[in-house]
Amino acid sequence: MSVWTLGINHHTAPLDLRGRFAFALDQIQPTLDGYRQSLARQPEATLLSTCNRTELYGAGDASAVDPTLDWLAQTGGVSTHVLRDHAYVLRDDQAARHAFRVASGLDSMVLGEAQILGQMKDAVRAANDAGALGSTLHQLFQRSFAVAKEVRSSTEIGAHSISMTAAAVRLASQLFEDLKDIRVLFVGAGEMIELAATHFAAKTPKSMAIANRTLERGEKLANRFGAQVIRLADVPDRLHEFDAVISCTASTLPIIGLGAVERALKKRRYRPMFMVDLAVPRDIEFEVKALTDVYLYTVDDLATVVQTGKENRQAAVAQAEVIIDAGVASFMNWMEQRNPASGVVPLIQQINAQADEWRATELARARRMLAKGEPVEAVLEALSKGLTQKMLHGTLAELHTGDNAARAATAQTVSRLFLRESSAKSPTAPNSPRDPQA
């Protein structure tokens, strides 16, 4: 059994390539189904897709990585060679470390941002619904979430971070003298647009409008911010009314084209327009960026802005890496214990089988006693004594055999296994914490 990660992100691939491998949340389950059916031996799998990354996490035979790369390239409509030039493959401890760093916000464009954790949880939930989340990946991600929580609560990794939407407001403030004098259009009604609307609303612009494919959802968001609602189909004809346009939808094709923007500029008498495209793939055609009176920013363009304050968080990053290292070591130890070569799993199975046999024997004896009319209290007493004697017989026998050194070693092991709680509460160790693994 091996765990691995295959992916591309904002460090390794340009925006347009990432856009080819963007999957909406409702696409994850059927995509995972298709992926696993393409392989002879189906691995555990989870697909994480955000603006900044698309990653497949797998657990199973390590030989599945190469066909996974071929499948992903075909899905995105590029050659395997092109994808390989921009992709990364991480295995075992490196894969675990990457998952923990992603969950903790250390691998994000906005260092320490918390949104990625929710996106990972959504991806894991979708994988579970698809029947693709086995015990290994379940363990990996549950540990990722625990590590992320510890990083968030024990360090200042999120302090002073600037979100993508806050960066958009900052850039708009550099273009317009006073944001109170502008009209803002938000295209979409998802989480990113909600965050953007929150930041812009704080600057009390002259007006705000929400355009969304689903009017009901657009109206709900508009009511929250006192904005008007317009139909998505009306955006090209009304584009000239707005000084700032923030777009983030799940559309697979641009919804604001070059022609629409050119017409809007003409109606505006070429007064500047500020546009932010937070979508992957793009909502606004790439050619719009070349227009003289348009200031268009994509998620990658915002990268330099959101790095502000990064230096102040380097100490927190170092603390976070220590927490992550401990989490990786713990996960790899868990993996090693599950390795049949280690002998631990078979031993656990044998112990469970033996305990079940003892339990069945004593239950049968108790039922016979009840059938004979024995008092219930006497039956319970006999049941508990019988189980206790069976479970302790081998241990007590070992304590009486062998030389002094062997008995001392056995005594130490027995104390560690059976007397943990007692020793923690003993007068000699009044402040000893209870072992969390007990």
Q: What digits encode the pLDDT tens for the residues 132-184?
A: 999 999 999 999 999 999 999 999 887 766 788 888 999 999 999 999 999 99
331: which 2 tokens?
A: 């996960």
**Percent of the chain topping pLDDT 70:** 92
- Tokens 């006693």, residue located: 369
Q: How confident is the model at residue 311 (pLDDT cuts 50, 70, 90)?
A: low
Higher pLDDT, 94 or 411: 94
82 and 132 Cβ atoms separated by less than 8 Å: no
The average confidence (pLDDT) of the chain is 88
Q: What digits encode the pLDDT tens for the residues 3-56?
A: 999 999 999 999 999 999 999 999 999 999 999 999 988 899 999 999 899 999
- Provide the annotated active-site residues: 51
pLDDT at residue number 242: 97
68 and 165 Cβ atoms separated by less than 8 Å: no
Average pLDDT over residues 331-337: 90
In the predicted model, is pLDDT for residue 426 greater than 60?
no
Exposed e or buried b per residue across 244-281, where buried means at least 16 C-beta atoms within 10 angstroms of its C-beta: bbbbbbbbeebbbebebbeebbeebeeeebbbbbbbbb
pLDDT at residue number 434: 35
Up-side HSE of residue 408: CA atoms within 13 Å toward CB? 3
- Least-confidence region, from 42-56, 78-92, 307-321, 423-437: 423-437
**Percent of the chain topping pLDDT 90:** 64
Q: What digits encode the pLDDT tens for the residues 238-270?
A: 999 999 999 999 898 999 999 999 999 999 999
pLDDT at residue number 340: 65
Question: CA-CA distances (angstroms) from residue 303 to 11, 111, 324, 378?
Answer: 11, 10, 25, 74
Collapsing DSSP to helix, strand or coil, 56 comes out as strand
Collapsing DSSP to helix, strand or coil, 104 comes out as coil
Average pLDDT over residues 68-85: 96
Average pLDDT over residues 350-362: 85
Average pLDDT over residues 70-82: 96
If one counts every other C-beta atom within 10 angstroms of the C-beta of residue 147, the result is 25
Question: CA-CA distances (angstroms) from residue 341 to 328, 344, 347?
Answer: 21, 8, 11
